[in-house]
Amino acid sequence: MFSGRKKELKYLQNRYESNKSEFVVLYGRRRIGKTELLKQFALDKNHIFYSAIETVDKSQLEMFSKELLKGSELENYIDSFKSWEEAFKFLADKSKKERILIIIDEFPYMVNGNSSIPSILQNIWDLNLKNSKLMLVLCGSSMSFMEKELLSVKNPLYGRLTGNYKVEEFSIYETAELLHELSFEEVVQYYGIFGGVPHYLVQINMKESFYYNLSSIALERGSILFNEVEFLLRQELREVMSYFAVIQAVALGSTTLNEIEQKSSIDRTKLTYYLNNLIELGILEKEYPVTMPIKQKAKSRKGLYYLKDSYFRFYFTYMFPYMSELIDSGSDYIVEKIIKPDMNRFLGATFEKVCKQFLIKLKAEGNSPFHFVLIGRWWDKSEEVDIVAFDENNNMLLGECKWTNSTQGYKLLDKMIRLNKEVMPDVGNTWYYLFSKSGFTDELIQHAIEQKNIKLITLDDMKFKE
């Protein structure tokens, strides 16, 4: 069942309805649902959908030709075009008078077999296709190729594209729409493990328990995600074991460059290169205090590294360090002795992400206390605040997020009030948003009723219709 992707479909539809030729690159990491998105988009349109495979150039051209020729008069006379030039010129002729959508999925495989294809396509586009009624969509999963090569200023197709769109993971609300049979608490749990990756989420059996699904999808040897991390890294990177060491160091709590260097035993010059690659792939992120001016970030050593990809974080926290036990003893021991006792702590970071998405959605709907321009975390040497949002007038929102089994009381609010001036010395008006999985004490609820700038948010309050 297709779910979500309303923004992406709207973007593509707007391009399709333009009165000109369109040349769009759509890309994103593997498993993110690009192919299903494009199939859904193409459903009611005159289209040709070609999925490239890893093969030699001659075979690729023959398979591509077969798709182009289907239903045409030429199909009775030829089996394949003699060259890519001929194939693309056929497209130009076919799209002179009518709107045609051409989708080439996994375009990097096509280029791997013939590196001159971008140049050939650029030439045909300039001479013929740009004045046609064609909408051409090139799609790919190889992030290194799509971002560093295809979208590079050095690529022959640079300047010909009319649009490019990076498909991201589902938000928590798109995830909730897909997992509509589950409670919001259960959705957050799954979001913490599988992120918003559709391919992972559709594996969930909503009739079974959270830990049953963890075992059957990820923890058991032979399960669909057991070898997923290594597969994804090998698709994009060399020296995979070095990258494993870096990611493991971050997963175990190393957040500064010095800490990661010491934990991974990798030379700093190489380490910086590895870290940058992992950030580009969306596996890691480097975060700065949200109040830090942009110009200071380039010189600052305050940036901290975190695992951004949810499943990588789960894998390197609970699977990679215990791989021998998983293989020898199965998943039950790891679930009962390692994962269950630690799950609330693990999901704390996920809940912060979810709370931030809630506030962003609140703003989009015009229901936030002010229109903040930046939102993120704040910390100094001894203190930190989960969420800080502010506008040009230094109006500020401070948020704390607690994924625990205990109700939250005055202690949580007192901390934010105490840190108010430390976060922003020249602060304007301040609002305090407290988020809790397990609710709040009666005293704090009564106090919040009396104070208009204090908001207490439970899981029930965070539900939205997508």
**Domain ranges across the chain:** 6-166, 174-346, 368-462
Question: What span, in angstroms and rounded, lies between the C-alpha atoms of 335 and 340?
Answer: 6
What percent of the chain lies above the pLDDT cut of 90? 90
For residue 29, what pLDDT band results from cuts at 50, 70 and 90? very high
Name the token pair of 74: 């030429």
Q: 345 — alpha (psi -120 to 50), left (phi > 0) or beta?
A: alpha
pLDDT, tens digit (0-9, with 9 covering 90-100), for 181-235: 999 999 999 999 999 999 999 999 999 999 999 999 999 999 999 999 999 999 9
Q: What is the mean pLDDT of the chain?
A: 95
Q: What is the pLDDT of residues 142-170, one digit of tens each?
A: 988 999 889 999 999 999 999 999 999 99
CATH number of 6-166: 3.40.50.300
Q: pLDDT-derived band of residue 294, with 50, 70 and 90 as boundaries? A: confident
pLDDT at 465 over 80: no
CATH class as words, domain 174-346 = mainly alpha
The percent of residues above 70 in pLDDT, for the chain, comes to 99
> Is residue 464 very low, low, confident or very high in pLDDT (cuts 50, 70, 90)?
low
pLDDT for res 90:
94
Q: The domain 368-462: what is its CATH number?
A: 3.40.1350.10
Domains 6-166 and 368-462 share a fold: no
Q: Which of 462, 465, 416 is nearest to 439 (CA)?
A: 462
134: Cβ contacts below 8 Å, ≥ 6 apart: 21, 22, 91, 92, 95, 99, 100, 102
The predicted-structure confidence for 371-427, as pLDDT tens digits, reads as follows 999 999 999 989 999 999 999 999 999 999 999 999 999 999 999 999 999 999 888
pTM for the model: 0.93
Helices 268-280, 257-264: axis angle to 10 degrees equals 110
